[in-house]
Amino acid sequence: MRTQRVISVVGCHAEGEIGDVIVGGVLPPAGATMYDKMRTMERDHDEVRRLLLCEPRGSVARHLNLLVPPTRDDCDLGVIIMEPTEYVPMSGSNTMCTITVALETGLIPMVEPETRLTLETPGGPVSVVAQCRDGKCVSVRIGNVPCFVDRLDAELDVPGFGTVMVDVAFGGMFYAIVDATRLGFEVVAAEARELAVLGEAVRGAAREQLEVIHPENPGIRDVSIVQLNRPFAGVGEATRNTCIVAPGRSDRSPTGTGTCARLAVLHARGQMQVGDTMQHESLIGSRFTGTIIGETTVGPVRSDGTARAAILPTIEGRAWITGFHSYCLDTSDPYPTGYHLPDTWGVGGGMTQ
């Protein structure tokens, strides 16, 4: 075997969603901030994402997390989050996987019964509290970046579905949030394919018809994910949802940043207050716990002396290591950056090589 590179990866999933962690074989990209490092990775080293996430080594159901040294003195570890079609500023399930792998493999010292640290994501620093017992990371609670509503009750013209009402909110990424029951869905596992078709249609319409820009970082823009849910079941109760991630599949977890975006909408509508908690449930029945712990603002102060209202949320869930892998690239391999086909690459997939 003539191998030109070997990459070490620890397999992991958080409540059903795969978030594998690169622990060797990839150098940290250049950049003054974690956001800059993410953009450098995307611009100059995207072959890593394509090699590991595209076939024949990867699949549309995986994400990758690259551990890097932090750029801030107040952070313990940095991460660059790679998804099948994009790099994202923050992800709850990927953060849970990253922390679980870092603690259980000894990359960061585990303190029982509770390990506290700060993770630098491209979206900003997030606080982490990991409950630990007998060498196992039992659960991870994340204090997310400020989350806020961009707009409520926006009308979209969605091909094949007509006029669809959406709320747009930021939970680490921008979400278009839809009450899928209004469109005849029960939001159950048997509807996964049809929900994915709806989600991709809404995402395309939102990106075309709505200008969405983060008030503090204009590089974070446009709707990335569509959340399709049932009506809010009430404070402390479990509410079913599914988040359709590009290129068109249901997130297997309840989606951490999606939970935070939902909390921001419920707070803006007066349905949740500081101190309130909700359970967000996925199509496979896994759950994250979301809590509003504070209020804040984001962006510049406007001419009337106010700024955009935001919440400070936490999300909590569990992750499990699934394996230890060494991925190789033979010098004669005709697919050094992989490929994907639309039969498995989501409803929005196409042949790419």
Task: Tell me the sheet residues that pair with 151.
Answer: 168
If you classify domain 3-143+321-330 with CATH, what class do you get?
A: alpha beta
Instruction: Give the pTM.
Output: 0.93
Residue from 245, 228, 254, 243 nearest 92 by CA: 254
Q: Give catalytic status of residue 8 as yes or no.
A: no
Residue from 297, 298, 294, 151 nearest 217 by CA: 298
The yes-or-no verdict on residue 128 having pLDDT over 60 is yes
Three-state secondary-structure class, residue 49? helix
Contact between 326 and 334 (Cβ < 8 Å): no
**Tokens matching residue 333:** 């391999």
Three-state secondary-structure class, residue 67? strand
Amino acid at 85: T
Distance CA 229, CA 222 (A): 20
At 352, the pLDDT band (50, 70, 90 cuts) reads: very low
pLDDT of residue 346: 67
pLDDT digits (tens, 9 = 90+) for 259-294: 999 999 999 999 999 999 999 999 999 999 999 999
The yes-or-no verdict on residue 249 having pLDDT over 60 is yes
The DSSP string of 158-217 is: ETTTEEEEEEEEESSSEEEEEEGGGGT----GGGHHHHHHHHHHHHHHHHHH---B-SS-
Q: Are strands 3-14 and 319-330 parallel, antiparallel or unpaired?
A: antiparallel
Is the backbone peptide bond immediately before 215 cis, with ω within 30 degrees of 0? Answer: no
Contact between 8 and 18 (Cβ < 8 Å): no
Task: Tell me the sheet residues that pair with 78.
Answer: 68, 120
Contact between 291 and 314 (Cβ < 8 Å): yes
pLDDT of residue 16: 97
Catalytic-role residue among 91, 224, 253, 286: 91
pLDDT of residue 353: 44
At 347, the pLDDT band (50, 70, 90 cuts) reads: low
pLDDT of residue 100: 99
Q: CATH 3.10.310.10: which residues of the chain?
A: 3-143+321-330, 148-315
Residue position matching structure tokens 């409950």: 131
pLDDT of residue 236: 92
The yes-or-no verdict on residue 349 having pLDDT over 90 is no
How confident is the model over 106-130, as a mean pLDDT?
A: 97
Distance CA 255, CA 315 (A): 10
pLDDT digits (tens, 9 = 90+) for 65-104: 999 999 999 999 999 999 998 999 999 999 999 999 999 9
Distance CA 54, CA 64 (A): 11
If you classify domain 148-315 with CATH, what class do you get?
A: alpha beta
**Tokens matching residue 160:** 């094949």
pLDDT digits (tens, 9 = 90+) for 165-187: 999 999 999 999 999 999 999 99
pLDDT digits (tens, 9 = 90+) for 12-45: 999 999 999 999 999 999 999 999 999 999 999 9
Contact between 100 and 320 (Cβ < 8 Å): yes
Contact between 309 and 301 (Cβ < 8 Å): no
How confident is the model over 199-204, as a mean pLDDT?
A: 97
